Structure 1
Amino acid sequence: MQESSIVQYFAEKGFEQGIEQGIEQGIKQGIEQGKKQYAVEAILTVLDVRFQTDVAEKLKPFLGAIDDLQRLDQLHRVATRASNIDEFTQALLNLEN
């Protein structure tokens, strides 16, 4: 009977630890996803304000496919300096390779 209680105790502890780790991982993933969404929207806003074109919205799926926040940050910088939407699009295509 006592062995059963010990096994049950460790099983419950393992279960609790698994839940805690799952919650922590979910929070981290949520934060990363939020940062990514913000970065994509920031790029699209800059493109829209600077070039006033509907092309920016068409680029959203391509930007959304990028998971690397540093790459998105670099693209944001390119968006602020590009002479035109074609220059930005070329930079986007070059970064995807």
Structure 2
Amino acid sequence: MNFKVIIVDCSGVTSEDEFWEAYVRDVNSPHPGFGRNFDAFADSLLGGPGAPVANEVRFVGTASLEALRQGRFLALLKDLAHDAPDTRITFE
């Protein structure tokens, strides 16, 4: 089995819509119908639409996400990622 890492580049992201665009672009999931919100992200980590087909997903350039919802956006992403059963999720 090959170890696959997906890099989601968040550098320069200034809105939630831009974040979800980066996620969909970089994960390149074969599953259609990803909802581009926290519920959809949580579902994707359990294998639903938008699921990353990888052993690890690295969100890089996440300093730009600190401005979204006064830091709560990134905090919620981290909380949801913590519970991902099959994929290691990191934020750099």
Compute the TM-score of the two structures, normalised by the length of structure 2: 0.26
Q: Relative contact order, CA 8 A, sep 6+: which one is greater? A: 2
More helix by share: 1
More strand by share: 2
Which has the larger Rg? 1
